[in-house]
Structure 1
């Protein structure tokens, strides 16, 4: 409703993980550098942890977009609620293989041969598992065993585990001590500070074609940050509702009362 009124080319506060809207706050930039370092230095296991809505998936897409497709093959697993055989099949399918084996033993053999062939051709393979806190212990162990696939000089697979804060608890379990010892790169995203949130909101408005309107007042920003705790997904929801409130008032100013109304609406939906 408010897109044409404010002259946006697209809606500024969608919650879909579009890398174009990624605001690289200091914590997001550092996380991205950790991912790049882990992969380029062939560290094997990399873990990225963050609260729900902190931007892990968007950051992941940014990271994948910056990997040279002429050199890297990637497999992105978005649904980790699978058994060991299903996980192996999903990885091979993501790598573009169509005729995959049926048994787990044959799948592992096929995986090893495919990875060896690609490494021989100068390729690097990166496996990214999102929402990794949902993996069963059996699949965690299968992923660990995949990290054993190697030549005399390097691992055949670089593995990135991304997940919510519960992933830290899962990895602390005694059953996963062998996997935990192999994690050489680990980073935990933190929420935005208030200044970072202000820059984030301005960034999304600018990317959407804002020419200086609308603008958020200091008190609106303060209320949004206090309520959202600096979590980008909640910030997006609140800003979208606050913009709608300002639009209904036919105003270029998003004020405290618009932010307060947005918080009330969000609380009503989640009650």
Structure 2
């Protein structure tokens, strides 16, 4: 919708973790280096933590691109509610193991055989547990036993636990002390600093094809950094709302006032009981601004009738499209 107005080739602040928009801070680079080192050196247990929206998934995607697919087998466990037997099933499937394994013992035997064959061929095996803070303590203890797949000199399976800061707290439990002792590397992704927020926004604008990397004014960036507390996911949400609003207002630059409106909407959205009602509230505000623009344009057209419909058509089309959003 706003891409053409701002000279963009695509939306720069989508919520999906597109690797093309990867922005590496020193914190991200350090964490990535630790994870790559941990896999290459067969360290066994690795832990990565970070607040919601700090870019853990994006970092993992970068890690997977660095690991040679031809020499590294990866199993990614997204569902933290699985039983241990289900985890084993998923691992065997991800690793491409086709064997009759109907019991836990059979699954473990099949997994062990695969890991040994991988190592003989000079390949590595990695299993990644996302949202690991939600894993039951009993499941984590059973996952620990997977690190027993080893030779006298090296671990056959590298195990990554990825989660929110609560994972650190969980790993302090007395019942998980044996697991804690086996963790070889720990790394944390930190929120962005104020300067990093500015660079992050400009980086995404540049990749999206923006001609003006200062599309967001300095005071606007400061407000975004303040509200988002350095969390990339929140930065994306605010910036996306700002571009929609700026487009409706026909503003070539995003100023502090537009950011304040976007923040106000997001704050109301957190408090309101109905998401759909909040969406309509934002659209009503957008439509209101567009209606004002339409009225102003109509006045201009009255004074300059010679231009015909060349100006009115796109403006009234915008208003008509916006009103359509309000329909249930």
CA RMSD for the aligned pairs? Answer: 1.2
Aligned to 2:149: 149
Alpha-carbon deviation of 1:98? 4.1
Compared CA separation, residues 270 and 245, structure 1 to 2 (3 A): same
Aligned to 1:225: 225
Aligned pair 1:71/2:110, yes or no? no
Larger Rg over CA atoms:
2
Tell me the SS of whatever aligns to 1:111: helix
Instruction: Kindly report which structure 2 residues correspond to 1:173-212, keeping only aligned pairs within 5 A, or say none.
Output: 173-212=173-212
Tell me the SS of whatever aligns to 2:259: helix
Distance 2:34 2:219 in 1: 35
Aligned to 2:127: 127
Q: Which runs of 5+ in 1 are unaligned?
A: none
Distance 1:178 1:159 in 2: 15
**1:78/1:130 contact within 8 Å kept:** yes
Alpha-carbon deviation of 1:243? 1.1
Alpha-carbon deviation of 1:100? 5.3
Aligned to 1:106: 106
Distance 1:248 1:151 in 2: 64
Alpha-carbon deviation of 1:211? 1.3
Aligned to 1:166: 166
**1:92/1:100 contact within 8 Å kept:** no
**1:83/1:138 contact within 8 Å kept:** no
Distance 1:161 1:227 in 2: 29
Tell me the SS of whatever aligns to 1:159: strand
Aligned to 1:83: 83
Alpha-carbon deviation of 1:3? 1.5
Distance 1:45 1:139 in 2: 15
More moved, 145-154 vs 53-62: 145-154
Compared CA separation, residues 100 and 6, structure 1 to 2 (3 A): farther
Tell me the SS of whatever aligns to 1:5: coil
Tell me the SS of whatever aligns to 2:148: coil
Q: Deviations over 1:215-241 (max 9, x none)?
A: 111111111111110000000000001
Q: TM-score, normalised by structure 1?
A: 0.97
Distance 1:34 1:146 in 2: 21
Q: Deviations over 1:180-221 (max 9, x none)?
A: 001110011110000011000001111111111661111111
Alpha-carbon deviation of 1:153? 2.2
Q: Which runs of 5+ in 2 are unaligned?
A: 272-328
Aligned to 2:57: 57
Distance 2:100 2:245 in 1: 53
Aligned to 1:4: 4
**1:214/1:252 contact within 8 Å kept:** no
- The runs of at least 4 aligned residues of structure 1 exceeding 6 Å deviation read none
Distance 1:169 1:255 in 2: 41
